[in-house]
Amino acid sequence: MGCLRHDADAADVLQETAIKAWRAIPSFDGRSDVATWLTRILLNACFDELRSRRRLVPLPDQAMDDAPLSPREPSPDDEAASARLDVHAVIDRLPFNDRTILTLFYVNDLPIRQVAEVLGISEGAVRTRLTRARARFKELYARPCPEDRPSMEVAS
C-alpha cells in the first residue's frame, strides 16, 4: 500500500509476489533472510506495476453521488481519522523513494539491516535516507495543501 496506494493494485501485486516467490524457491540460496527475499520480490513487483501505470492514460473520476452530505457534529473518531488522512496525504506527496523507505521502516517495521538488504544499499545509506525522508515529511506536514486537510467545521 505504501508504494501503490490502491487496495486492488496492492492485492494484485501481493498475489503476483506469491506466484513469483513460489517459482523462485529453487533458486533461493539462503544468503539473506526469507522475509528480506520476499520483500525484495514484492518491491520489484511494485516497481513493475508502477512502470506499467506510466503507459496508462488516466480517466477523470466520476462523481459517485451528487447528493449533498448532511452536516453533523465531529466526533473524536472523526478527528483521529482526519489525522490519519493528514499523514496519508503527506506521504502520498513524498517522492517514491521516501515513501518506500518510510513504509519499510515504520509500516513494515523492518530493522535498518533488513531495509538495507531489501533496497540493496548500506545501513549508513538507509540511515541517511530515513533522516532526509523524515525531514521532507515534517516539512510537508507543517505546510499542507488546503485540500489535504479536510475541515472539521460544521456548516451552518
Residue 102 maps to a domain: yes
Residue 72 above 60 pLDDT?
A: no
Look up the domain containing 123 and give its range.
95-156
Is the pLDDT at 42 greater than 80? The verdict is yes
**CATH code for position 114:** 1.10.10.10
Q: What percentage of the chain reaches a pLDDT higher than 90?
A: 13
* Residue 26 belongs to a domain: no
Q: Is the pLDDT of residue 9 over 90?
A: no
Q: Is residue 82 part of a domain?
A: no
pLDDT tens string 136-151? 999 988 875 555 444 4
Does the residue 143 lie in any domain? Answer: yes
DSSP string, 102-153: HIIIIIS---HHHHHHHHTS-HHHHHHHHHHHHHHHHHHHHS--GGGS---P
Q: What is the pLDDT of residue 31?
A: 83
Instruction: Count how many domains the chain has.
Output: 1
Calpha distance 50→35 (Å, rounded): 22
Residue 28 included in any domain: no
- pLDDT tens-digit map of 97-122: 898 898 888 888 889 998 998 888 99
Residue 74 forms part of a structural domain: no
**Would residue 137 count as lying in a domain?**
yes
- Residue 116 included in any domain: yes
36's CB contacts (< 8 A; 6+ apart) are 114, 117, 118
